[in-house]
């Protein structure tokens, strides 16, 4: 079976690996010159940088499994650390290396900048969310969910809102409460302590998945067409045509704005938000006390210490 994958980001690469492993004749189309999409390495001013800053959690078991499948070792490629949320206002919450859920409870208890009453109220709320299986009312926003739970204090400002923006790239006023509840279920609400860990890349993003996936796919006969922008998709009685070339089926794995151009029926359904990264180079001995820091809004949301004095500031749309 001949199948096309349109888009060579992490989703498209995952689809191509799965198809190829299943015996399909896979052709991957990517408009850019390199694979990886929004999480790829780029060359700028004679140095290797990353297109954006993407932090994994231990809960991303399928992504980590995919990396191992194609020969990339997450234990060697990531710096694994217990979750900490720190910002310049003085807020700090650091999870200890204790079994779940004790790690979250003991991390919340000494959190600075939060009243004891708010900490206890949040602990009770989280326990109730667990008891309800992390199910939230349909069509409810994160802001509405937090309002109804009385989560209107320091933890909303310094924990829930930044985590929502980081995970969903959408502010609490518009983000889906159910999607955010799913994030909490798999991370802070998980029964596995390791799921709450931060995984900070030790290497450029290309070495995490795109480059190993490219080697794995080529070794198994998949066809990878980079710098190849798809212009048209047409259904046929036998399958589908990509720019006039026949395939049995196709997987559309592009960003929503590009998918809408190829398949206009999607335009009214999907929306997207941009993300920008501003790199600041300081002297090589400059470093943050913890490599991930919340900026609490303003000119950005997060700053990531990439080592050797290079700081990456994330601005979500």
Q: What is the pLDDT of residues 216-230, one digit of tens each?
A: 999 999 999 999 999
Rounded average pLDDT over 34-60: 89
Could you report the per-residue pLDDT of 276-287, keeping only the tens digit for each? 899 999 999 999
What percent of the chain shows pLDDT beyond 70? 97
Residue 169 has a pLDDT of 84
The pLDDT value recorded for residue 89 is: 84
The dihedrals phi and psi of 163, each to the nearest 5 degrees, come to: -65, -40
- Asked if 15 and 2 touch (Cβ cutoff 8 Å), the reply is no
259, containing H or E segment:
helix 256-262
Average pLDDT over every residue of 250-271: 81
- CA–CA gap between residue 304 and residue 294 (Å, rounded): 9
pLDDT at 170: 87
- The pLDDT assigned to 269 comes to 61
* Percent with pLDDT over 90 in the chain: 77
What was the pLDDT predicted at 61?
A: 93
Rounded to an integer, the average pLDDT of 87-103 is 90
pLDDT digits (tens, 9 = 90+) for 167-209: 888 889 999 999 999 999 999 999 999 999 999 999 999 999 9
Sorted by sequence, the CB contacts under 8 Å of residue 59 that are 6+ apart come out as: 186, 187, 190, 192, 195, 196
Mean pLDDT of the chain: 92
Q: What is the mean pLDDT of residues 86-112?
A: 91
Distance (Å) of CA 198 to CA 24, 59, 84, 168, 194: 35, 9, 8, 16, 9
Return the pLDDT at 297: 60
Provide the Cα torsion 271, 296, 314, 38; round to 10°.
Answer: -40
**Is residue 62 pLDDT above 90, yes or no?**
yes
Q: What is the mean pLDDT of residues 13-18?
A: 98
Strand 233-235 to 198-201 pairing: unpaired
Under the banding of pLDDT at 50, 70 and 90, the label for residue 144 is very high
Give the burial string for 15-33 (b: 16+ CB within 10 Å, else e). bbbebbeeebebbbbbbbe
How do residues 261-275 score in pLDDT, each as one tens digit?
A: 888 877 666 667 778
pTM for this entry: 0.90
Alpha carbon 174 to chain centroid distance? 18
């Amino acid at each position: 079976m001949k199948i096309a994958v349109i888009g060579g980001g992490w989703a498209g690469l995952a689809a191509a690996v799965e198809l190829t492993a299943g015996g399909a004749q896979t052709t991957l189309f990517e408009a850019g010159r390199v694979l990886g999409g929004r999480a790829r390495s780029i060359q700028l001013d004679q140095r290797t940088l990353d297109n954006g800053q993407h932090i994994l959690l231990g809960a991303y078991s399928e992504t980590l499994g995919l990396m191992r499948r194609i020969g990339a070792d997450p234990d060697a490629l990531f710096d694994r650390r217990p979750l900490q949320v720190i910002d310049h206002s003085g807020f700090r919450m650091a999870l200890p290396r204790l079994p779940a859920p004790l790690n979250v409870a003991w991390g919340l208890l000494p959190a600075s900048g939060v009243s004891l009453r708010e900490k206890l109220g949040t602990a009770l709320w989280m326990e109730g969310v667990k008891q309800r299986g992390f199910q939230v009312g349909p069509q409810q926003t994160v802001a509405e969910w937090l309002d109804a739970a009385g989560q209107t204090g320091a933890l909303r400002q310094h924990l829930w809102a930044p985590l929502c923006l980081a995970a969903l790239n959408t502010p609490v006023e518009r983000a889906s409460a159910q999607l955010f509840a799913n994030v909490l279920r798999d991370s802070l609400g998980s029964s596995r302590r390791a799921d709450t860990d931060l995984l900070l890349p030790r290497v450029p993003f290309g070495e995490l998945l795109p480059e190993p996936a490219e080697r794995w796919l080529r070794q198994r006969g998949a066809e990878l067409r980079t710098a190849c922008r798809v212009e048209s998709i047409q259904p046929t009685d036998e399958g589908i045509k990509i720019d006039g070339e026949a395939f049995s089926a196709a997987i559309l794995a592009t960003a929503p704005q590009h998918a809408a151009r190829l398949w206009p029926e999607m335009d009214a359904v999907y929306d997207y938000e941009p993300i920008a990264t501003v790199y600041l180079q300081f002297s090589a001995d400059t470093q943050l006390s913890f490599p991930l820091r919340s900026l609490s809004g303003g000119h950005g949301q997060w700053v990531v210490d990439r080592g050797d004095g290079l700081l990456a500031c994330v601005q979500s749309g």
